[in-house]
Amino acid sequence: MAVLISLLRGVNVGGHHKIKMDALRALYGSLGLRDAQTYINSGNVIFRSDARDLDPLRKRIEKGIEKNFGFHADVMIRTCSELRKVIAGSPFARRRDIDPKKLAVLFLAAAPSPEAREQALRIEADPEELRIARRELYIYFANGMARPKLLPALLERTLRTSGTGRNWNTVTKLLELAERITSGGGGAVSGKSIG
């Protein structure tokens, strides 16, 4: 049984699409997903599943959210191994001038086409920096995230796929929690919100 990390798009942002984390964990349980744990209030769920094909699982979770909460939320799912590669593959990892509080990862629903990637990389956003991996965008907000030039909506339109962003601290914490569960160390009480 694999430990998976799901990231919901646009949940509990600006007073819209509100979901209580205990209700979200209950939904995952009702879908046959085990040991669901949430991290902070932005729709991060770590859980266990026997599913081998993650696309039908993603669609099942999205349908469950729509049925139970009355709105659609895109869901991105990553395995522990994939999340580990996201962290290890950060193009900003070796730079000493990077403040982790200003670094974010936009997790995409699908890998963008080469043409869409080129278009996104041509967006003028100085001093912000954008790097594109297969299904992730790394964005460094040199002046902070308060008024970014690289808005997620602009990037999604350009790349022709939806995505959801998480700051670097959240990304690394999600991997830490998922690996603890994978190793059997727990680290949190099953079915609880962490953080």
Ordered by start, the domain boundaries in the chain are: 2-83+171-186, 84-167
State the fold for domain 2-83+171-186. Alpha-Beta Plaits (3.30.70)
Asked whether 137 and 184 are in contact (CB, 8 A), the reply is no
Please state, in angstroms and as integers, the Cα–Cα distance from residue 16 to each residue in 27, 41, 140, 150, 164, following that order: 19, 13, 26, 22, 15
Q: How confident is the model at residue 184 (pLDDT cuts 50, 70, 90)?
A: confident
pLDDT given for residue 192 in this prediction = 57
- Mean pLDDT of the 125-138 span: 95
pLDDT at 187 over 60: no
Asked whether 131 and 138 are in contact (CB, 8 A), the reply is yes
Q: How confident is the model at residue 60 (pLDDT cuts 50, 70, 90)?
A: very high
pLDDT, one tens digit per residue, over 79-116 is 999 999 999 999 999 999 999 999 999 999 999 999 99
Domains 2-83+171-186 and 84-167 belong to one CATH topology: yes
Asked whether 36 and 28 are in contact (CB, 8 A), the reply is yes
CATH number of 84-167: 3.30.70
Q: How confident is the model at residue 185 (pLDDT cuts 50, 70, 90)?
A: low
